[in-house]
Every structure is written in C-alpha cells, then in structure tokens.
Structure 1
Amino acid sequence: MKADFWFDPSCPYTWLTSRWLLEVAKVRPVEIHWHVMSLSVLNEGREDDPENDPEGYLWVPARIAALVRHRFGGEALGRLYTELWRGSGDDQDWLGDFRRALSAAGLPADLAEAGQSDAHDDLVRASHAEGISLLGEHIGTPICAVTGAAKERIVFFGPVISRLPTGEQAGRLWDGTLLVAGTPHFHELKGRAHEEPRLS
C-alpha cells in the first residue's frame, strides 16, 4: 500500500503525524512517499496571518525541502525531514540548523542557501498544488493519499495528534482513519481541543 504524504516541514503537529506514519509502516504494509506542501502558499492573499509569520520565514524550510526532493528524490526528503527535527523537545517546537540537517541526511549542506531565495518557489508551489488539489484549500498540513492494491484512492487531512502512538496502537489508528476517510461522502471528524504537541 502506497501512502503519499504532503507536509509543511515547519509544523510540529505534522511532524508528529509523520512519525506516526513511520510507526504504521512497522506494523502495516505501507510504503511512504514524501512530498512538500507550504502553509506560506496556502495562506497567500489572506488579510490575517494564521501562522504569525510576518517575515515569511516558513518559506525557508519549504524551499530547501522542495529542492531536495527535486534533485534527490522522496527518500532523501524523508531523511532530511527526520534530521530537521532531531533534538527538538517539548520546550522547542522549531526546526534545527538547516546545514547540519542536510549534512546528517547525507545531502550537500550548501542547499541551505536555497531557503533564502525565491528561485525554486515554483517547485514548492507545484508540489503544494498537487497535494491540495486532492482535498481543497479548506484544510492545511498534512495531507495523506493512500493507494490500495486495487488502485482505490483514500485521501485525508491529518490526523492531528499531540502524542505519538506506537506499535499496534499506531496500526489501529491507521485502520480506523482509512475506514472513516474511505467512506463515501465523508467530510469531517473532530476530537478534543488541541493540546501542545509532545515532540520527544
């Protein structure tokens, strides 16, 4: 089973969802394919600033990630994503040093410079558009599109979690998510109010 996962690399809740997906892959036959989406692109043209990013910093990790996927593929993007958040804790919901993360992922450290330029924004926009087109602009990050053995397609936003389920608990959440999201004409399901994510 193939799972295409679109993520904004700066979102701590999305980070937890991505780690859940890796847990799922240990207990279910799931192959993860990593893609970039961007909250900066999603929120362009809005009068408010839902991400509180007046300087446009959220473009930086998205640009680097999109360029890595373009040049080195999805598996390399997955490695970079892991390294970006390595060492983050509950008192720090931000990304680490980009050059360190690139080097640790076996990628050229000078790709960090791409974050300061709009030269590759077309890559960010194209990947974002591919993911967001599956559900629409009423949602955010992450988006997961699952393709089963019969080529059926199940697409969903989230799930948004604040603690990481592991083992069979992760697998059961996967099973339930596919069941709900795969129901024809299903639109939305919500849980309790958000709590701060536990990143480690």
Structure 2
Amino acid sequence: MQNVTFYFDVSCPFCWQTSRWMKEVEQVRDVAVDWVPMSLAVLNDGRDLPADYMKMMEANWGPARVFAKVKAEAPEKIDELYTVMGEMVHPGGEGGKQGYGAYDEVIAAALEKVGLPANYAEVANTEDADDLLRGFHARAMEAVGDDVGTPVVQLGDTAFFGPVITRVPRGEEAGELFDASVKLASFPYFFELKRSRTEGPQVQES
C-alpha cells in the first residue's frame, strides 16, 4: 500500500482538481490517503499582495480554521467534509468570496450535510483554531519547502507541490498518472517539471 498525505485548502480550484484525481486513484490503486488542511491565508499572511486577493485571503481563513478543528477532533470526517464543501465552492459556484465571514453559510451547510455539530463553525471567525491550522500548514511546508501553494502531495517520504492539473483523469488514466508521480518521487534528486498553463481548471460536477 502506498501512503499519501494530501494537504489541501478548500478555496483553491487547482487543489480541488488534484484532490478529485486522488479520489479516482483510490478506486484503482492500493493507497491510504491522509487528508490534512493547509492554508493559503496562512501562506500569504503578511505579504504585500493586491487588495482584491487579500480580501479573498480574509475569506479563506474561515473554512481553513474549521477544517483544522475537524481534523483535530473528528478526523474520520475530514475527507467527506472536503468533498461536500469543495463541491459547493467549485462546481457549485460558491468560491472566490471576499472578506472575513464570507463563507459562513457554506460552512454551516457543509457541516450539516456531513452530520457534524454546528458549533464547529464557531472557530471560523475567531483565532481559537489558528495554532492548530498553523501547525498543520507547517507540516506541509516542512515536507515540501515554502516556495509553493496548494496542493501539497506527499508520496511516502517525498512531497511535491502538485501535480497541478486542469482536468481530472478517470479510471486507469488516473492510476497511470499516480504511478508516474510515485516513480518521480523515488528519485531523491528530482525536484520539478513545469510549463506555462494554457487553460484554467475545468471543474465539473462530481
């Protein structure tokens, strides 16, 4: 069995595409995936960025804090919650919100749908879960380095930013991409491949 640690931020559409690929991989390969929150809001905290982007980062604190609390207290629900909230944010069109508290309704609806207590949402607009969130985020950065975004995927002992994909491969094609990723991760001197993107995430209903 291949152990995979998948560090995610629910707000990121590229992360969402990669996560749906990993859900496909679970169907065709012998893998054990540990879903762990990280945070673009933490990553960009204190950086000098455009005002509109910073407003999006303000909004992103809420869901990330909730995921940190759920991961700590009800980890068996983290995968389901990511899927449910991610479907609302991405194919459901609820992403790209701006300002603190912007995702409060999304958070409440997702918690209810997966059967988690509504009081998990209370941490979204406080700093009560920030130490937890920063701790999970630090694990991702320690694994991959700090010159990255989301997702971070750790394959055994090696972590990468990505793979960054715009479309979700299905079935055996998903397995083949996973096999290739594991193979690259087996070379300790391999670090990156990159090319300019020519399309954005092609998000579809699950």
- With normalisation by structure 2, the TM-score equals 0.87
How far is 1:62 from its partner?
A: 0.3
Which amino acid counterpart does residue 45 of structure 1 have in structure 2? G
* Counterpart contact for 2:11–2:89, Cα < 8 Å: no
Partner of 2:148: 139
Percent of aligned pairs sharing the same letter: 39
How far is 1:183 from its partner?
A: 1.4
How far is 1:87 from its partner?
A: 4.5
Rounded to whole Å, the distance in 1 between the matches of 2:83 and 2:198 is: 23
Secondary structure class of the residue paired with 2:59: coil
Please say if 1:48 is aligned against 2:26: no
Aligned pairs for 1:1-200 within 5 A: 1-49=2-50, 52-54=53-55, 56-73=58-75, 75-87=76-88, 92=93, 94=95, 97-147=106-156, 153-200=157-204
Runs of 4+ in 1 over 4 A off after TM superposition: 87-91
Which amino acid counterpart does residue 119 of structure 1 have in structure 2? D
Decide whether aligned partners of structure 1 residues 88 and 61 sit closer, same or farther in structure 2, where only a CA change above 3 A counts. Answer: closer
How far is 1:65 from its partner?
A: 0.5
Secondary structure class of the residue paired with 2:173: helix
Aligned residues: 194
Secondary structure class of the residue paired with 2:6: strand
Secondary structure class of the residue paired with 2:201: coil
Which amino acid counterpart does residue 196 of structure 1 have in structure 2? G
Rounded to whole Å, the distance in 1 between the matches of 2:12 and 2:186 is: 25
Secondary structure class of the residue paired with 2:169: coil
Decide whether aligned partners of structure 1 residues 194 and 109 sit closer, same or farther in structure 2, where only a CA change above 3 A counts. Answer: farther
Decide whether aligned partners of structure 1 residues 49 and 128 sit closer, same or farther in structure 2, where only a CA change above 3 A counts. Answer: farther
- With normalisation by structure 1, the TM-score equals 0.89
